[in-house]
Structure 1
Amino acid sequence: MEVYDVTIIGGGPAGLYSSFYSGLRAMNVQIIEAQPYLGGKLNLYSEKIVWDVGGIPPMPAGQFIQHLVNQAKTFQPTIRTGEKVNGIKKTVDGNFQLQTTTGKTYLTKTILLAMGNGTLDPSPTPFFTNKGEPLKNVQIAVTDFEALKQKRVFISGGGQSAIDWANTLAPIAKEVTLVYRREAFKAHESEIERVTSGPVRCMLQADLVDKKLTADGKIIEAITILNKETAEEEMILVDEVIVCHGFNQKNELFEQNDVGLEVFNEYYVETTPQTKTAISGVFSLGDAASYTGKVHLIAGAFHDAINAVNAAKLYIDPKADAIGTVSTYADKLKPKVATVWKQYATE
């Protein structure tokens, strides 16, 4: 069985950049991602604009994911999606054995925990089928902004995400109805003022009473709402439904391992600023990490990734350089320089 130098658990920004940097430091890498796709939480807002990554122009998160994935593949890592690591053991020769939900096992010299706060499963909602899957015109994360143009959009929720989508869709949708069961929205004051003073119809203290489905039971045609103040019911015709009820976070890895991994403050692994955990050879980075001065931004995830990869390199080879050379002088990238220049020459 192949023994990887580095196994990255999680395929979000921290994990993807770790893949690139591990290759730059001449280590063979595998990424194991529980979801069937890469990109992590960026997939929850793929149609929103990412502004705060240095040197990168503002772009939709979905496009940014593609840039991250392309970079992560620079040194041909092994990428496994749809597999969740649910067990870690230390072998007699000092390596780690990983068990996944598919029944497969892998061997690795080091582990980079880049799984954020675990897998995010949508909170239960009446807008799902009996199997817990969204109905055909129900979206948890908006992935096709254009498809909502001139549609009757119903948004359920009262937090920042719900209000953001209401404000974003108001100029392009035929109509937007925002329904929340509580007395007041919970978001930035300026955004609340914007949504309540614009064309969005806002309904507070409103509960879902019933939904009308198409004959095949796959699409919601109308939703009946109860106004808890007046006790009146109203049927609202809909084309698309966006559900912003939050997510349940799960991380089985903390419950099923024999090396002493423990969760800190509910969602994090306590680390040093160099991403080291209490377990030699295991490093935590990105939103999975907690240390004094930690920055929970994409830019902070990149910083963690560099520290984690450098620490993994030294763990494997104590005589290695503590940090890698700058990319402009990296031998492993020199064969690719001509290709990059050719791309720029054609632009």
Structure 2
Amino acid sequence: MSAQDNARPDSEIHETDAVIVGAGPVGLFAIHQLGMLKLRAHVIDSLEEIGGQCTALYPEKPIFDIPAYPRIDAADLIERLETQAEPFSPRFHLNQQVTDVVRQDDGGFLVETAAGTRIRCKAVVIAAGGGAFGPNRPPLDGLADYEGRSVFYMVKRRQDFRNKRIVIAGGGDSAVDWAMSLPEVAEKVYVVHRRDKFRAAPESVERMRAWAETDKLELVVPYQLAGLDGHDGRLSAVRVKDLDGNERVLEADVLLPFFGLAAKLGPIAEWGFPIEKQVIPVDPATCETPIPGIFAVGDVATYPGKLKLILQGFSDAAQAAHAIYPIVHPGEALHFEYSTTKGVPEL
């Protein structure tokens, strides 16, 4: 298991070859590509878990355009990428946002996070996708008192909700995906949405509606969240209202509000390079930004002909890793070898 640091204060200044900002699929593959060149990496992500959108938005969503996998669930893809990166012993700093990147006298960088983590490196790889994610919170009084105990914005393990009474709020993919899955373990699931039409794959909606024919799931439409009842961070009920103001009280232990995640580049937008519609222009040959030593890969990077595909992000990661090697080892020739001949090198 790779080392992880979840927003703990840290007085140590870490030393590494490259810092990767973003632990989504492209950031994880960048660990592998750097490691194949014997370059060490630390990874920073604003979420509590690795995987980016694949973990936060659609862990059980199938992906059909990953080479050699006709179909693979997003969570399984992240698990395989993590396994692929493990031989290179990456250090993860999760639930943290980069606040500053300072050029050092030796040409490298000092990367700092809001949690106080400091890392010295020779290069920075931005693999932030659409940027740092945060949940869109419903406007409910006292919501913060329940967050982390009874209100959750993502599901880490289904088993955590066994025999619970659950209210799912929302009408998109995440809401529908979990409305299909959680009735298998929960005592009761309510799906609250402001209308009877859902913004998800038709086959997923059909499966959810099949569950609604049983006593395990109830569609509460058209309703919206109105309030929370409980004590000391523990829910006892969720109050909802229809469009005419009529109120229902749903006895519940857990609220899962799935109203999407807001994505912003945040402090990255202030690092000094041009930003075009939330993406960063890079050299297509190296994925280097206009700031020497800082690279951008995946959806956050743009160049002529760029496609927003995980596959193209993987290619970006390989390009960036090879461009970083001479920065870390100036004057040393890189003798390229195929992985089939050299295997996985030791760092």
Q: How many residues of Structure 1 are paired with residues of Structure 2 in the alignment?
A: 328
**What residue in structure 2 maps to residue 228 of structure 1?**
243
1:42 pairs with 2:54: yes
Q: Report if the CA contact (8 A) 2:123-2:324 is conserved.
A: yes
Q: Which whole-Å CA distance do the structure 2 matches of 1:110 and 1:11 have between them?
A: 16
**One-letter code aligned to 2:263:** Q
Query: Could you tell me the TM-score, scaled by structure 1's length?
Result: 0.78
1:273 pairs with 2:284: yes
1:159 pairs with 2:172: yes
Q: Which runs of 5+ in 2 are unaligned?
A: 1-12
**What residue in structure 2 maps to residue 219 of structure 1?**
234
Q: Which whole-Å CA distance do the structure 2 matches of 1:300 and 1:114 have between them?
A: 12
> What is the Cα deviation at residue 36 of structure 1?
4.6
> What is the Cα deviation at residue 55 of structure 1?
3.6
Q: Report if the CA contact (8 A) 1:6-1:28 is conserved.
A: yes
Q: 1:28 to 1:47 in 2, by over 3 A?
A: closer
**One-letter code aligned to 2:42:** Q
**What residue in structure 2 maps to residue 341 of structure 1?**
none
Q: Which whole-Å CA distance do the structure 2 matches of 1:180 and 1:122 have between them?
A: 17
Q: Note the 1:198-277 alignment, pairs <5 A.
A: 199=212, 200-213=217-230, 216-229=231-244, 231-257=245-271, 260-265=272-277, 267-274=278-285, 275-277=287-289
**One-letter code aligned to 2:28:** L
Q: Report if the CA contact (8 A) 1:31-1:80 is conserved.
A: yes
> What is the Cα deviation at residue 282 of structure 1?
1.6
Q: Which whole-Å CA distance do the structure 1 matches of 2:108 and 2:148 have between them?
A: 45
**What residue in structure 2 maps to residue 343 of structure 1?**
none
Match 1:11 to one of 23, 35, 44: 23
> Rg: which structure is higher?
1
> What is the Cα deviation at residue 178 of structure 1?
1.6
Q: Report if the CA contact (8 A) 2:146-2:235 is conserved.
A: no
Q: 1:105 to 1:217 in 2, by over 3 A?
A: closer
> What is the Cα deviation at residue 134 of structure 1?
1.6
Query: Could you tell me the TM-score, scaled by structure 2's length?
Result: 0.78
Task: State the SS of the aligned residue for 1:138.
Answer: coil
Identical pairs, percent: 25
Moved more, 170-179 or 282-291: 170-179
Q: Which whole-Å CA distance do the structure 2 matches of 1:277 and 1:169 have between them?
A: 43
**What residue in structure 1 maps to residue 149 of structure 2?**
136
Q: Which whole-Å CA distance do the structure 1 matches of 2:344 and 2:204 have between them?
A: 48
**What residue in structure 1 maps to residue 200 of structure 2?**
187
Q: Note the 1:31-180 alignment, pairs <5 A.
A: 31-44=43-56, 48=60, 50-52=62-64, 53-55=66-68, 61-62=74-75, 64-125=77-138, 129=142, 131=144, 134=147, 136-149=149-162, 151-170=164-183, 173-180=186-193
> What is the Cα deviation at residue 311 of structure 1?
1.9
**TM superposition outliers: structure 1 runs of 4+ over 6 Å:** none
Q: Which whole-Å CA distance do the structure 2 matches of 1:300 and 1:110 have between them?
A: 21
**What residue in structure 1 maps to residue 9 of structure 2?**
none
Q: Report if the CA contact (8 A) 1:30-1:79 is conserved.
A: yes
Q: Which runs of 5+ in 1 are unaligned?
A: 337-347
Task: State the SS of the aligned residue for 1:116.
Answer: coil
Q: 1:153 to 1:21 in 2, by over 3 A?
A: same
Per-residue CA shift, 1:96-145, capped at 9, x if unaligned? Answer: 33233244543322211112222211122256855476252333112222
> What is the Cα deviation at residue 307 of structure 1?
1.4
